[in-house]
Protein backbone atom coordinates (compact mmCIF):
# COMPACT_ATOMS: atom_id res chain seq x y z
CA UNK A 1 0.00 0.00 0.00
CA UNK A 2 1.27 3.46 -0.94
CA UNK A 3 0.32 6.38 1.29
CA UNK A 4 0.68 9.99 0.22
CA UNK A 5 0.84 12.11 3.40
CA UNK A 6 0.48 15.87 2.93
CA UNK A 7 0.65 18.52 5.63
CA UNK A 8 -0.19 22.15 4.95
CA UNK A 9 -0.47 23.90 8.32
CA UNK A 10 1.90 26.80 8.93
CA UNK A 11 1.90 26.09 12.69
CA UNK A 12 4.67 23.46 12.75
CA UNK A 13 4.66 21.46 16.01
CA UNK A 14 1.71 23.47 17.39
CA UNK A 15 -0.52 22.25 14.55
CA UNK A 16 -3.56 20.15 15.38
CA UNK A 17 -4.04 19.06 11.74
CA UNK A 18 -0.44 17.81 11.65
CA UNK A 19 -1.03 15.88 14.88
CA UNK A 20 -4.14 14.28 13.39
CA UNK A 21 -2.61 13.49 9.99
CA UNK A 22 0.37 11.83 11.69
CA UNK A 23 -1.99 9.80 13.88
CA UNK A 24 -3.85 8.62 10.76
CA UNK A 25 -0.62 7.60 9.03
CA UNK A 26 0.59 5.83 12.19
CA UNK A 27 -2.71 3.94 12.39
CA UNK A 28 -2.42 2.92 8.73
CA UNK A 29 1.15 1.69 9.26
CA UNK A 30 0.07 -0.25 12.35
CA UNK A 31 -2.58 -2.05 10.28
CA UNK A 32 -0.38 -2.33 7.16
CA UNK A 33 3.27 -2.58 8.30
CA UNK A 34 4.54 -2.83 4.74
CA UNK A 35 2.93 0.48 3.75
CA UNK A 36 5.19 2.94 1.95
CA UNK A 37 4.70 6.58 2.93
CA UNK A 38 5.64 9.55 0.79
CA UNK A 39 5.51 12.84 2.68
CA UNK A 40 4.96 16.39 1.44
CA UNK A 41 5.20 19.34 3.81
CA UNK A 42 3.69 22.20 1.86
CA UNK A 43 4.56 24.74 4.56
CA UNK A 44 8.29 24.06 4.47
CA UNK A 45 8.54 23.12 0.79
CA UNK A 46 5.75 25.02 -0.96
CA UNK A 47 4.83 24.25 -4.54
CA UNK A 48 4.95 27.37 -6.72
CA UNK A 49 1.51 28.73 -7.47
CA UNK A 50 0.08 28.14 -10.89
CA UNK A 51 0.81 30.86 -13.42
CA UNK A 52 0.53 31.13 -17.20
CA UNK A 53 4.08 29.90 -17.79
CA UNK A 54 3.49 26.77 -15.70
CA UNK A 55 0.02 26.17 -17.16
CA UNK A 56 1.31 26.42 -20.72
CA UNK A 57 4.28 24.11 -20.02
CA UNK A 58 6.86 26.81 -20.75
CA UNK A 59 9.01 26.04 -17.71
CA UNK A 60 10.74 22.66 -17.93
CA UNK A 61 11.59 22.54 -14.21
CA UNK A 62 8.00 23.30 -13.20
CA UNK A 63 6.64 20.85 -15.79
CA UNK A 64 8.80 18.11 -14.26
CA UNK A 65 7.63 19.05 -10.76
CA UNK A 66 4.00 19.02 -11.91
CA UNK A 67 4.44 15.59 -13.45
CA UNK A 68 6.00 14.26 -10.25
CA UNK A 69 3.12 15.65 -8.15
CA UNK A 70 0.48 14.15 -10.44
CA UNK A 71 2.24 10.78 -10.43
CA UNK A 72 2.48 10.78 -6.61
CA UNK A 73 -1.26 11.34 -6.47
CA UNK A 74 -2.09 8.71 -9.09
CA UNK A 75 0.23 6.10 -7.52
CA UNK A 76 -1.15 6.52 -3.99
CA UNK A 77 -3.61 3.99 -2.63
CA UNK A 78 -4.36 6.30 0.30
CA UNK A 79 -4.05 10.09 0.54
CA UNK A 80 -3.88 11.74 3.96
CA UNK A 81 -4.15 15.52 4.03
CA UNK A 82 -3.59 17.62 7.13
CA UNK A 83 -5.67 20.74 6.51
CA UNK A 84 -6.18 23.51 9.01
CA UNK A 85 -8.92 26.03 8.30
CA UNK A 86 -7.56 29.52 7.67
CA UNK A 87 -10.10 32.27 7.05
CA UNK A 88 -12.76 29.68 6.12
CA UNK A 89 -10.51 27.87 3.63
CA UNK A 90 -7.25 26.05 3.06
CA UNK A 91 -3.70 27.33 2.81
CA UNK A 92 -2.61 28.75 -0.53
CA UNK A 93 0.09 26.09 -0.65
CA UNK A 94 -2.53 23.32 -0.48
CA UNK A 95 -4.45 25.12 -3.22
CA UNK A 96 -1.22 25.13 -5.28
CA UNK A 97 -1.04 21.34 -4.86
CA UNK A 98 -4.69 21.04 -5.95
CA UNK A 99 -3.94 23.12 -9.04
CA UNK A 100 -1.10 20.76 -9.95
CA UNK A 101 -3.14 17.54 -9.59
CA UNK A 102 -6.26 18.86 -11.33
CA UNK A 103 -5.15 18.19 -14.89
CA UNK A 104 -7.49 17.27 -17.73
CA UNK A 105 -6.55 13.98 -19.32
CA UNK A 106 -4.58 12.87 -16.24
CA UNK A 107 -6.85 13.04 -13.18
CA UNK A 108 -10.13 13.86 -14.93
CA UNK A 109 -11.60 14.14 -18.40
CA UNK A 110 -14.53 15.92 -19.91
CA UNK A 111 -17.19 13.87 -21.69
CA UNK A 112 -20.49 14.69 -23.34
CA UNK A 113 -22.08 13.82 -19.96
CA UNK A 114 -19.75 16.04 -17.93
CA UNK A 115 -16.45 15.49 -16.14
CA UNK A 116 -15.25 12.01 -15.16
CA UNK A 117 -12.54 11.42 -12.54
CA UNK A 118 -9.57 9.27 -13.52
CA UNK A 119 -7.76 8.95 -10.17
CA UNK A 120 -10.32 6.82 -8.34
CA UNK A 121 -9.93 3.55 -6.46
CA UNK A 122 -8.18 5.12 -3.49
CA UNK A 123 -9.09 6.25 0.00
CA UNK A 124 -8.66 9.83 1.18
CA UNK A 125 -8.50 11.07 4.75
CA UNK A 126 -8.82 14.75 5.58
CA UNK A 127 -7.34 15.62 8.99
CA UNK A 128 -9.24 18.83 9.57
CA UNK A 129 -8.69 21.37 12.32
CA UNK A 130 -10.70 24.51 12.94
CA UNK A 131 -10.33 27.24 15.50
CA UNK A 132 -14.10 27.71 15.76
CA UNK A 133 -17.05 25.35 15.57
CA UNK A 134 -18.64 25.03 12.13
CA UNK A 135 -20.09 21.51 11.98
CA UNK A 136 -21.06 19.70 8.80
CA UNK A 137 -22.20 21.58 5.69
CA UNK A 138 -21.48 25.04 7.04
CA UNK A 139 -22.10 27.82 4.50
CA UNK A 140 -18.67 29.26 5.37
CA UNK A 141 -16.75 25.99 4.96
CA UNK A 142 -14.41 26.41 2.02
CA UNK A 143 -11.97 23.92 3.55
CA UNK A 144 -13.50 20.46 3.86
CA UNK A 145 -16.06 21.15 1.15
CA UNK A 146 -13.36 22.16 -1.33
CA UNK A 147 -11.19 19.15 -0.54
CA UNK A 148 -14.12 16.71 -0.88
CA UNK A 149 -15.07 18.35 -4.18
CA UNK A 150 -11.53 18.04 -5.57
CA UNK A 151 -11.26 14.41 -4.54
CA UNK A 152 -14.68 13.61 -6.01
CA UNK A 153 -13.92 15.54 -9.21
CA UNK A 154 -10.78 13.45 -9.73
CA UNK A 155 -12.73 10.23 -9.08
CA UNK A 156 -11.90 9.64 -5.41
CA UNK A 157 -15.23 9.14 -3.69
CA UNK A 158 -14.11 7.30 -0.55
CA UNK A 159 -13.30 10.37 1.57
CA UNK A 160 -13.31 10.38 5.37
CA UNK A 161 -13.00 13.51 7.47
CA UNK A 162 -11.43 13.40 10.90
CA UNK A 163 -12.13 16.77 12.45
CA UNK A 164 -11.09 18.68 15.56
CA UNK A 165 -12.90 21.96 15.81
CA UNK A 166 -13.10 24.65 18.42
CA UNK A 167 -9.37 24.28 19.04
CA UNK A 168 -8.93 28.02 19.60
CA UNK A 169 -11.87 28.30 21.99
CA UNK A 170 -10.01 27.40 25.16
CA UNK A 171 -7.83 24.55 26.38
CA UNK A 172 -10.70 22.38 27.59
CA UNK A 173 -12.57 22.43 24.27
CA UNK A 174 -9.29 21.94 22.38
CA UNK A 175 -8.44 18.86 24.45
CA UNK A 176 -11.95 17.45 23.97
CA UNK A 177 -11.80 18.02 20.22
CA UNK A 178 -8.40 16.38 19.85
CA UNK A 179 -9.40 13.44 22.06
CA UNK A 180 -12.56 12.85 20.00
CA UNK A 181 -10.66 13.08 16.70
CA UNK A 182 -7.95 10.69 17.90
CA UNK A 183 -10.65 8.23 19.01
CA UNK A 184 -12.04 8.39 15.45
CA UNK A 185 -8.53 7.67 14.10
CA UNK A 186 -8.44 4.46 16.16
CA UNK A 187 -11.42 3.15 14.15
CA UNK A 188 -9.51 3.29 10.86
Other beta carbons within 10 Å of 128? 26
pLDDT band at 167 (very low <50, low <70, confident <90, very high): very high
pLDDT per residue over 52-74, tens digit each? 999 998 999 999 999 999 999 99
Q: Where are the beta strands (DSSP E) in the chain?
A: 2-7, 36-41, 78-84, 108-111, 114-117, 123-130, 158-165
Instruction: Tell me the pLDDT tens digit for each residue of 81-93.
Output: 999 999 999 999 9
Please tell me the predicted confidence (pLDDT) of residue 136. 87
Percentage above 70 pLDDT, the chain: 100
Residue 179 has pLDDT above 90, yes or no: yes
Round to whole Å and give the CA distance between 166 and 174: 6
pLDDT average, residue stretch 152-160: 98
Question: pLDDT at residue 182 above 90?
Answer: yes
Query: To the nearest whole number, what is the mean pLDDT of the chain?
Result: 96
120-141 pLDDT tens trace: 999 999 999 999 999 888 888 9
First to last CA, the chain: 15
Rounded distance, CA 6 to CA 121, Å?
19
pLDDT in tens, 17-36: 999 999 999 999 999 999 99
Residue-level pLDDT at 45: 96
Amino acid sequence: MKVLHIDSSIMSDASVSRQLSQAIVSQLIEKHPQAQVEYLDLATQPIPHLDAEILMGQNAEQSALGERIIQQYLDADVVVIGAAMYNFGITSTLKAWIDRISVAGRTFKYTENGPVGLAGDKKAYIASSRGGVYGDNSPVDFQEGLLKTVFNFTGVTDVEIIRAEGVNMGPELKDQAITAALAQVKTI
